[in-house]
Amino acid sequence: MPKTYSNPRMTATIADWPHGAHRTTATFTIQVDRGRERGMRVTIDPKTGRPSAPKILTYARKSRIVDGDDGRTYIANLTEYGHVSIMRGDMKINEEAIFPADPRYAAVVALFEESSHADRNP
């Protein structure tokens, strides 16, 4: 069954993020640079209490932090090629690519505009 995505945003803090055998806080942000955007995640090292080195994705036309219907956090990227790439929150694996022929495509692309309006009008 194909996943659906919701709750697009530019920042998110998750208090119970897995970190090896421990749990920690993860902060996701979308960086904007010269009209391009990319996702970034910083976790707090549970042993030292200090921020770990950031995990950073490559730039896309637009990026948003979204929730999957499976309860997980993802990064949606509107690529230069027009399809939407969905990255897992661990930023290691591309969960899926959604192309214009996919029936979910219009709804997923609308997430980028939905969050843009919400971010301007809190």
Residues 13-36: tens digit of each pLDDT: 999 999 889 999 999 999 999 999
- What's the predicted TM-score (pTM) here? 0.90
Q: How far is CA 47 from CA 13, 17, 22, 43, 89, in A?
A: 19, 14, 9, 12, 21
pLDDT of 108 > 80? The answer is yes
Give me the percent of the chain exceeding a pLDDT of 70: 93
Span 74-88, mean pLDDT?
96
Are residues 3 and 87 in contact, defined by beta-carbon separation less than 8 angstroms?
Answer: no
The model's pLDDT over 50-70, given as tens digits with 9 standing for 90+, comes to 999 999 999 999 999 999 999
